[in-house]
Structure 1
Amino acid sequence: MMVELIKSMFQAITRPIKNLINCYLRYLAGSPSLTDHQHDSKLDHHITLIIEDNNVLYTATQAYLFSKFKIDSVKIHIGEGKVDDLYQGVELKWRIFIDKKNSRNITKECFELRFEEKHRDLVFDSYIPFVESKKRILEMFTYSDCYMTWGAKSLDHHSTFETIVMKEELKRGLINDLDRFMRRKDFYTRVGRQWVRNYLLHGLPGTGKTSLVAAMAKYLNFDVYSLKLTEVVETEYDLRRKILGIMDNSIVLVEDIDCSLEGSTVALSQLLSGLAGFWSNGEARIVIFTTNFKETLDPTLLSRMEMKIEMGHCCFEGFKTLASNYLGLSDETHHLYPDIKRLIGGQAVTPGQVAEALMKSQDVDVALEGLVRTLEMKSLVSNKI
């Protein structure tokens, strides 16, 4: 019973905090990821922390150092990636290096943080969480056929796993699946498989497919590359050129896959071959396909999906999430909640339709009254039909 309680408590902790806990536990256990503090007759004891490229802390560190110190990636490869940071009067020495001598013989970039042992509590309790908070601004990339390159803009979508309208059981299952996938780099390397996972999001327009993509990107701290197939692609080489321009640790989004294939010269086999064939650098990729009509998809495509997620209509719990997002309402009961609960349970309304009604006024009563009228109108039309 106690084991299950501890397990459930740990699962409730957010992933960044888990990383810090694991990091500190590895330090206490003397893991090779954290070298033992060294002693020099001319120096105090020092602790050297090695951050490998397999967690969110690595990504946050990369964003923090590259943005603050404008480090040139070329210098890293010639061993010049060294910077000194100052935090609350404490000097911290960073080194960025390419590790070619690890046990798995995999070339990878690592960060080394060195500091005096007497500042250990400050570093683990304050500095590392500070670096963790400096995650870079995510970007959405679209391809320009005119310039033959990917162009970027900020991914400023508001959705996160905390704000998205989604069945709680399905949401927890997806988060667990993402966590498990991100922990299995060594497995994919050992068996010689590409570190890629395919997801299919299906449901009617307005059910939250795009919002879920944004939530997944923020959770993983991955940029999103929107791969559109409706434009004319003359050869399979053109498709591969696009795919090869996609950076490491990212999400590839193929929206409306059923319609995209109809309007493109690229065949399904070419698309799947292209997406499966370019992951050659050992980094993680997520490929997300979306469709409004799952039943129209080719069985070959469906067989490639590791997880199929149906985004459904809005239930009362989903409405309360949206009411919190758009109107700032907590779990406190509003006098219109019983009417909304009765009406929304029998009507096929999407989260997008509910959100649209709630956005019509910042006044809580006015917005909820408008939603009630919308639901009553749908009920009237449904009954007539």
Structure 2
Amino acid sequence: MMIMNPSKATPEGWGTLGSAILTFIFFWDLIRRYCPPELRLYVERSGRRISGFFNPTIQISIHEYIGSHMKPHEAYGIVEAYLSISSSKDAKNLKAEMAGETETKLVLSMDENEKTTDEFNGAQVVWISGKVPSPPQTSSFPYHRETEKRYYKLKFHRRYKKLITESYLEHVVKTGRDRIQERNRQRKLYTNGYSKSDWSHIVFDHPATFETLALEREKKEEIIEDLLSFTKGRDFYKRIGKAWKRGYLLYGPPGTGKSTMIAAMANFLDYDVYDLELTSVKNNTELRKLLAETTSRSIIVIEDIDCSLDLTGERKNKMEKSGETETEIIKKPSSRRDREAESGSQVTLSGLLNFIDGLWSSCAGERVIVFTTNHVEKLDPALTRRGRMDKHIEFSYCKFEGFKVLAKNYLNLEEHPMFGSVEDLMEKVKITPADVAENLMPKSAKEGPDECLQSLINALKEVQAIETNKVVAAAEQENHPQLVIEWIPTVQETRD
């Protein structure tokens, strides 16, 4: 077959070439339409073999996600870290990011649709970065967007196949992992609130530590020891046949430091945090999908579990009060409010339990699951039993030892003459660490430690007066049932 030189082509020559192409397309269409499937498959295989003979290039793809967008692929991050070392040599389009808060320079890596070359023991390879186009947006939710599905392609001559598959890829993995460990990796805070069925993230830079927690020293040491035992228990969990995870239930009144404890745990373990908003999850299937996309070495958080969904056994209580069966309740005509609720999240208690310790709970490796609640008595016992929520941690009102931690944090004080008055009052009244911190925080540049401590003492005395008045009122009501006492709450009482 003659190859036409474009510089010497004539209109007649172009016409001949066009006719040849049309003839080929015509016969190829006939083969696809009327040939038996076996013959058509044979022709396609032969075509691929002929094409491979003339094209000696072998290609390996590394996608960001495994399977149908279910789990981030560790190999993708390793290749990205490896290419951040060599890609700046000849790639023209690069993207830059800070490797960590303490870094003083940017880390460069290949941008999408860019390529770079690499050499290994005399073999030349080409790395190409790409991105699968996102489908058209169909959701009316303003922040919904499909997660970009990126990939890397490695191309090399087939004569280097053994060298690349046996030595070069091992070199890439080792170098990439070393590069990741060298970086001061920023922790990430993920949420499903914006994209509902996908995780979005920002940098997690919460400064809380166990040293700054307003908690008794014995309790902090107990939690730290438990976390350390968990992180070193890979072989133990494997031997006993359990998924490498641990559940924590943090419960207590509002303002007692439950969320701060989660931040301290993440900083202590150096884990990412996944803040799961259950009301944004459509059903149990989406819940499993979100779980599968979490990474190892992470904390999955569900805050205020008693307020998230109807998982507190209220349906059972309704059936017991009405004497109706569950089937009768389902068939009963629903109100407009019920129909609106049904159009939202349909995550069930069964789906959440499977999320915690079912078969899907073992899909991501080393993870901590944390629930928080202000009303532990409302939770279903099936949710809080040991094995699901392994460790229950109560957060109560502030004690004097917790106050001393807050005084050190806010006022840089370890001792002060007014500490005695604070200790006496804190033994008699209940006040949350959040209220203590609010009173210790200087309101202006003129306020010093004395003014802040006096503000706290005044707040404690106010709470004490409220509690005393409540006791007196209760006694008066008991002695004179016909007497109705109306109270006008103070600012502090209203806040509580």
Q: Same fold (TM over 0.5)?
A: yes
CA drift of 1:193 comes to 2.2
Determine whether 1:203 maps to 2:252: yes
What is the Cα deviation at residue 282 of structure 1?
Answer: 6.0
Q: Percent identity?
A: 36
Q: Please tell me the residue identity of whatever aligns with 2:455.
A: G
One of 338, 341, 347 as aligned partner of 2:423: 341
- 2:440 aligned residue: 358
Which residue is 2:347 aligned to?
266
Q: Are the counterparts in 1 of residues 189 and 201 from structure 2 also a CA contact under 8 Å? A: yes
Identify if the C-alpha distance between structure 1 residues 165 and 261 changes in structure 2 by more than 3 Å, giving closer, same or farther: same
Q: Please say if residues 277 and 302 of structure 2, whose CA atoms lie closer than 8 Å, have aligned partners that are also in contact.
A: yes
1:91-142 Cα deviation digits (max 9, x unpaired):
xxxx447xxxxxxxxxxxx6599xxxxxxxxxxxxxx9xx6xx642222111
**Partner Cα separation in structure 2 for residue 190 and residue 209 of structure 1:** 32
Check 1:192–1:70 CA distance in 2 against 1; reply closer, same or farther (3 A cut): farther
Matched residue type, 1:338: G
* Counterparts in 2 of 1:205 and 1:295: CA distance versus 1, 3 Å: same
Alignment partner, residue 308 of structure 1: 392
Q: Shift in Å at residue 182 of structure 1?
A: 0.9
Number of equivalent positions = 280
Give 1:258's aligned amino acid. Answer: D
For 2:465 and 2:193, locate their aligned partners in 1 and report how far apart those are by CA, in whole Å: 47
Structure 2: how far apart are the matches of 1:149 and 1:222? 19
Please list, as runs of the form range in 1=range in 2, the aligned pairs for 1:47-196 lying within 5 A after superposition: 67=99, 78-81=169-172, 95-96=174-175, 111=178, 135-144=184-193, 146=195, 148-196=197-245
Deviations along 1:133-190, one digit per CA (max 9) or x if unpaired, are: x642222111145474211122232210111011211111111111111111112233
Change (3 A) 1:248 1:311: same
Structure 2 unaligned segments of length 5 or more: list them: 1-77, 85-98, 100-105, 111-150, 155-166, 311-340, 471-496
Letter in 1 for 2:458: R
* Contact 2:213/2:405 (8 A) holds in 1: yes
Q: Quick check: which one's strand share is greater?
A: 1
Per the alignment, do residues 336 and 189 of structure 1 end up closer, same or farther by CA in structure 2, a change over 3 Å counting?
same
Aligned to 2:403: 319
- Give unpaired runs (5+ residues) of structure 1: 1-60, 83-94, 98-109, 114-127
Give, in whole Å, the separation in 2 of the partners of 1:280 and 1:308: 22
The alpha carbon displacement at 1:372 in A equals: 1.0
Cα offset, 1:314, TM superposition: 0.6
Flag the 1:77–1:248 CA change in 2: closer, same or farther, 3 A.
farther
Is the partner of 2:309 in helix, strand or coil? helix
What is the match of residue 377 of structure 1? 462
Alignment partner of 2:224: what SS? helix
Q: Is the 8 A contact 1:189 1:282 kept in 2?
A: no
Secondary structure of 1:79's partner? helix
Deviation at 1:246, TM superposition (A): 1.4
Q: What amino acid sits opposite 1:78 in the alignment?
A: L
The residue aligned with 1:240 is 288
Distance 1:317 1:141, change over 3 A: same
Aligned partners of 1:194, 1:78: CA distance in 2, in Å?
A: 30
What is residue 366 of structure 2 aligned with on the other side?
A: 284
Q: Closer, same or farther in 2 for the Cα pair 1:147/1:377, shift >3 Å? A: closer
Root-mean-square deviation (CA, aligned residues, Å) is: 3.1
Assess, with a 3 A threshold, how the Cα gap between structure 1 residues 197 and 71 changes in structure 2: closer, same or farther. Answer: farther
Q: For residue 45 of structure 1, what is the aligned residue in structure 2? A: none
Question: Retained in 2: the 8 A contact 1:81–1:96?
Answer: yes
Distance 1:310 1:175 in 2: 15
Task: Kindly provide the CA deviation profile for residues 212-265 of structure 1, in whole angstroms up to 9, marking residues without a partner as x.
Answer: 00010001000110111123x433112112222212210000111111122852
- On the 8 A contact 1:343/1:375 being kept in 2, the answer is yes
Distance in 2, matches of 1:376 and 1:364, equals: 18
Q: Which amino acid in 2 is paired with 1:224?
A: V
The one-letter amino acid of 1:259's match is C
**TM-score normalized with structure 1 length:** 0.65
Q: Distance in 1 between matches of 2:362 and 2:390?
A: 20
Structure-2 separation of matches of 1:180 and 1:190: 15
In the aligned structure 1, how far is the partner of 2:168 from the partner of 2:255? 46
CA contact (8 A) 1:165 1:322 kept: yes
Q: For residue 421 of structure 2, what is the amino acid of its counterpart?
A: D
Given residue 274 of structure 1, which amino acid in structure 2 is its aligned partner?
F
Query: Following superposition of structure 1 onto structure 2, how do residues 20-35 of structure 1 map, counting pairs within 5 Å?
Result: none
Q: Separation in 2 of the partners of 1:226 and 1:368?
A: 36
Q: Does 1:367 pair with 2:455?
A: no
Report the Cα offset of residue 356 of structure 1: 0.9
Larger Rg: 2
Structure 2 counterpart of 1:318, one-letter code: G
Cα pair distance change 1:202/1:148, threshold 3 Å: same
SS of 1:188's partner is helix
Question: Following the alignment from structure 1 to structure 2, what is the Cα–Cα distance between the partners of residues 177 and 168?
Answer: 14
